[in-house]
A and B are shown apart, each in its own frame.
Chain A
């Protein structure tokens, strides 16, 4: 093959029509405040686990909402459920409950 000195960058676009959003619907039923998030990042900024690991609630929220579940189950284990994120959220998202339910939903869907 000819070496052009560059490669074709892979697209990062996510086509929601091709994603399985069943888990998102389930989460929304359990934690209705889930959709109030404006991605401000206050949760990640205050997170104790974030200070020492790659755990990032904002990123997890964004990935889950877009149906990108790969690796989330493992990532969610870093959360210590201290609830500081819930205290600082300006939109009143029940983040602690969101994480518990995310773990539950992903565990169930991976069992299938």
Chain B
């Protein structure tokens, strides 16, 4: 019987009972995304997901910047897994793509080196008195949204269609390098045909843009931006991507990595300040959304509750195109109900 090679590009994604781990960057820059994911899983998909309050960093940024040693990272990861064990779960869902990459790497090392696994168990026991199990299923939240994209489509109020032209929105999808480029088999469609975001876009009515630098790095790159003087390399990568996608006139960008979302969003402001250049026709920039924000918007969640106002590139033009109502007066309404002061306006980028 012939081998079905396409099966290798599939991934096992658990059906229910997830242990959720939050992301450092996302909680700071896109706080609405994680809340939206939990809401979608609990309320729309009616699945069981546990949001642990005693969690901590995976060390990802420190690990990839060579300031946290491998053994320390392993022990920190082991502690996170021990929290999952204590809560009685087996399916681990880290919100961040970097965490996903770190966990995949540690599990791979432990699978190949049982003696290292024993050492890590010993370190964790000595440091905290805790025990841990390796998760049975490790998936990224975008995998879960991808898995249930057709179910979500049925409950969506809007689709990725331009209501003025009736044509599908032209969308740039960008998957994080640590999602499928470290361990290709851990990503839906591997590194060659990553389908996790493209699948959502296609199912929800949009059109995926294929442009020359589609798989180029977003510019995050850890070491590239940690030292201020090196940030020129980081922004040069982002600029390269934008120059490549500009002729295709994307309506927005969707990413599944916290770093990609942040850098493609914020560097647009920096490029505008440095070179007075934006990559859309009107000078507002190209909105960069997380996949939860995209799903949340289509499900009818309030754009300001999703936290779209916290992005550098504002999304009112996009909301108008899809036909999503919003109240401009409530854009800067805080959790207490008080209207917060408006942020400072950029010099060149229109908001």
Contacts and interface: CB of A to CB of B under 8 A. Distances in A.
Interface of A: 1-2, 4-11, 13
Given A9-B232, A9-B233, A4 B240 contact: no
Contacts, number: 35
B273 interface: yes
Nearest to A10: B236
A87 B334 CA distance: 77
A63 B273 CA distance: 34
**B229, B232, B240, B273 — which one has the most chain A CB atoms within 10 A of its CB?**
B232
A11 B231 CA distance: 14
B232 A7 contact: yes
Interface in B231-255: 231-233, 235-236, 239-240
Interface size class of B (residues with CB under 8 A): 10 to 19
B271 A11 contact: no
Nearest to B225: A6
A6 B240 contact: no
Nearest to B228: A5
B136 to A, nearest CB: 44
A6 B232 contact: yes
A8 B236 contact: yes
A1 B274 contact: yes
A94 B55 CA distance: 66
B347 interface: yes
Contact of A8 (B228, B229, B232): B232
Contacts of B270: 4
27 contacts: A1-B273, A1-B274, A2-B273, A2-B347, A4-B273, A4-B274, A5-B228, A5-B231, A6-B228, A6-B231, A6-B235, A8-B232, A8-B235, A8-B236, A8-B239, A8-B271, A8-B274, A8-B275, A9-B232, A9-B233, A9-B235, A9-B236, A10-B236, A11-B236, A11-B239, A11-B240, A13-B240
B217 to A, nearest CB: 13
Interface in B91-127: none
B230 interface: yes
Nearest to B231: A6
A9 B270 CA distance: 13
B347 to A, nearest CB: 7
A11 B229 CA distance: 17
Interface in B298-347: 347
Contacts of B231: 4-6
* Residue of A1, A4, A8, A13 most packed against chain B (CB within 10 A): A8
